[in-house]
Chains A and B, each alone.
Chain A
Amino acid sequence: MSFSQLYSEKVLEHVRNPQNMGEIKKPDGVATVGNPVCGDIMRLYIKIEKKDGKEYIKDARFQTLGCGAAISTSSIITTMVKGKPLNEAEKITKTAIMEALGGLPPTKTHCSILAADALKKAIANYRQSHKK
């Protein structure tokens, strides 16, 4: 299989040089999502910062066990949310992730759902644990 036929240049770039890979020690929000379809597992950590009463994603990191598409969607979503206000970040859709990657093959679109899902759940986890 030629991977440059299967994946866009952007996807391959993220697989070869994943951004923000690893763990955040004391995250404000974290979520682990698994894909029952193919067995991929993605964990997303976020660190929140408050500026002028507004919440921002200060840092985002990922850990992923999965294919090229899973790695690239995890990697790119961290770059998409870092520095963004929380209420904007949570509006990121699977389509936006796919577009940012220059598209995904049809059999791999579920990987973009996985990344969008991980983000939503990590934000929910933050809200849940910071609700007072």
Chain B
Amino acid sequence: MQPYFSLHYGNPSEPHQWGQQARAAIDEAREKVAQFLGAKPQEIIFTSGATEAINLAHKGLIENIKYPHIITSSIEHKAVLETCKHLEKLGMAEVTYLPVDKDGLVKVEDVEKSIKPETVLVSLMYVNNEVGTIQPIAEIGKLIQKINVSRLTSHLLRIFFHTDATQAIQYLDCQVAKLGVDLLSLSGHKFYAPKGVGVLYFKKGTPIVRQQDGGGQEYRLRAGTENVPYIVALGKAIEQISNFQFPISNKIKKLRDRLIDGVLKIPKVKLVGDSKKNSPHIASFLVEGVEGEAMMLLLSDRGVAASSGSACTSGLLEPSHVLLAMGYQPQQAHGSLRFSLGKENTQEEIDEVVQVLPGIIRQLRRMAPKL
């Protein structure tokens, strides 16, 4: 990435050799992303991140369709939920938000039951960012493909399937053909590329309309001069994962399970979701009688970075919509504590968390009034 800031600084839209050097670097990165996803390079658009990719996928798909219906879930990332709410507010789409069970799973039959003649988009995240739940994307992909065949004969528009794979890239199979998706979005910074770069995969023939107007970059689907160094970095990072996905996944899973076993020894602590079925990098807990931010603060003093879905930690003072959708009460979400693991974490670090957390929880519980 570094040389593309100051050494190879050409604008890829220019025909001179400096421009063409940058162009070649973008092409190479695009090729790597395509290979990782089992797609063609012409199906890859670089964006500023998953949020932009998601906006483009949703708004761009429905732009030319009169009052379409979208199906999504109630535990999506805000990038999807807010995009859908915006489209609803503008009267541009009708949206169904599917419920989830206590582990955060969408039921395939709920997807099937919600499909209407007007449905043009099903958008479901591959891995939930707060709990780690893995949705049955491939199964839903098959269902949609089957339904699309029958829609052909009844002259209905086909349904397109989008997945936000941001949290899955490092750990799960993201081959688009296996998943049966037409659109897939991802963010670079979830796999060690810089923040501020992402990708939208769109299957050839998916009728998206660009949302950011201007020049002809990115197959005329995303105007604006390309962020060459970040795109190069994303290409390099995704290539690295292709080589190490499974060993990293296994290593993190072992650490995560060790963390879960240790934390669950603390009284009145509950694990959120079904860890065996979840993505290996997230462990989410509900701690009774303690507020999440207070735990984060004292953990931070001990050098541990955690997060929480408690209302106090959200800028909007609302408890996590994911925990609420999973059926937890706001007061349970108040005690939410979440750890995200990465490939650089060590067993010693996990053991340290398991060692310091009980004291922090005891300290805060002692402070709380008996109700």
Query: Which residue numbers of A lie inside 8 Å of B, CB to CB?
Result: 1-3, 12, 15-16, 18, 21, 32, 37-43, 63-71, 107, 110
Given contacts A37-B317, A39-B310, A39-B319, contact A68 B369 (CB under 8 A): no
Chain B residue at smallest Cβ distance from A11: B297
- A67 contacts B369, C-beta separation under 8 Å: no
Closest to A63 in B: B369
Contacts of A32 in B (CB 8 A): 369
Interface SS of B by simple majority: helix
Interface string of B329-371 (1 = CB under 8 A from A): 0110010000000000000000000000000000010111111
Of B46-54, B132-140, B286-294, the one touching chain A: B286-294
Beyond the given A15-B294, A32-B369, A107-B315, could you list 17 further A-B residue pairs with CB under 8 A, ordered by the A residue number?
A: A39-B312, A40-B312, A64-B367, A64-B369, A65-B289, A65-B290, A65-B334, A65-B367, A65-B369, A66-B291, A66-B312, A67-B292, A67-B294, A67-B313, A68-B293, A70-B312, A107-B317
- Measured between beta carbons, the chain B residues less than 8 angstroms from A110 are 317
From DSSP, what is the main secondary structure of chain A's interface residues?
A: mixed
1/0 per position for B301-317, CB-CB distance to A under 8 A?
10000000011110101
The 5 closest A-B pairs by CB, nearest first: A67-B312, A63-B369, A65-B368, A43-B369, A67-B293
Q: Considering the complex, give the chain B residue whose CB is closest to the CB of A32.
A: B369
Q: Which residues of A contact B297 (CB under 8 A)?
A: 3, 12, 15, 67-68
Least CB separation from A12: chain B residue: B297
Contacts of B179 in A (CB 8 A): none
Nearest CB in chain B: distance from A111 CB, A: 9
B300 within 8 A of A: yes
Distance in angstroms between the alpha carbons of A40 and B310 in the assembled complex: 10
Partner of A41, one of B293, B317, B319, B368: B368
The complex places the Cα of A84 from the Cα of B290 at a distance, in Å, of: 31
Q: Looking at the assembled complex, report how far the CB atom of B309 sits from the nearest CB atom of chain A, in whole angstroms.
A: 12
Nearest Cβ on chain A to B331's Cβ, whole angstroms: 6
B121 at the interface (CB under 8 A from A): no
| B319 to chain A: closest residue by CB | A39
Q: Which residues in B have some Cβ–Cβ distance to A below 8 Å?
A: 289-294, 296-298, 300-301, 310-313, 315, 317, 319, 330-331, 334, 364, 366-371
Docked complex Cα distance between A69 and B313 (Å): 11
Known: A39-B319, A41-B371. A68 touches B294 (CB 8 A): yes
Query: Are A65's CB and B291's CB within 8 A?
Result: yes
Closest B residue by C-beta to A75: B367
Q: Which residues of A contact B291 (CB under 8 A)?
A: 39-40, 65-67, 70
Q: How far is the CA of A110 from the CA of B315 in the complex (A)?
A: 13
The docked-state distance in angstroms from the alpha carbon of A41 to that of B368 is 8
The interface centre, meaning the residue of B301, B317, B319 with most chain A CB atoms within 10 A of its CB, is: B317
B320 to chain A, nearest CB (A): 12
Q: Please indicate the chain A residues that have their CB under 8 angstroms from the CB of B296 in the complex.
A: 1, 3
Identify which of A16, A37, A41 contacts B369 (C-beta below 8 A). A41
A86 CB → nearest B CB, Å: 23
Inter-chain contact A21/B367, CB cutoff 8 Å: yes
A107 to chain B: which residues have CB within 8 Å?
Answer: 315, 317
Identify the interface centre among A3, A16, A21, A65: most chain B CB within 10 Å of its CB.
Answer: A65
Cβ of A12: which chain B residues have Cβ within 8 Å of it? Answer: 297
Smallest Cβ-Cβ distance to B301: which chain A residue:
A16
User: Could you give 28 example pairs across A and B, Cβ below 8 Å?
Assistant: A1-B313, A3-B300, A38-B311, A38-B317, A39-B310, A39-B312, A40-B312, A41-B368, A43-B369, A63-B370, A64-B367, A64-B368, A65-B289, A65-B291, A65-B364, A66-B294, A67-B293, A67-B297, A67-B310, A67-B312, A67-B313, A68-B293, A68-B294, A70-B291, A71-B294, A71-B367, A107-B315, A110-B317
A63 cross-chain contacts in B, Cβ below 8 A: 367-370
**Contact across chains for B367 and A18 when beta carbons are under 8 A apart:** yes
Query: CA–CA, A71 to B313, complex, Å?
Result: 14
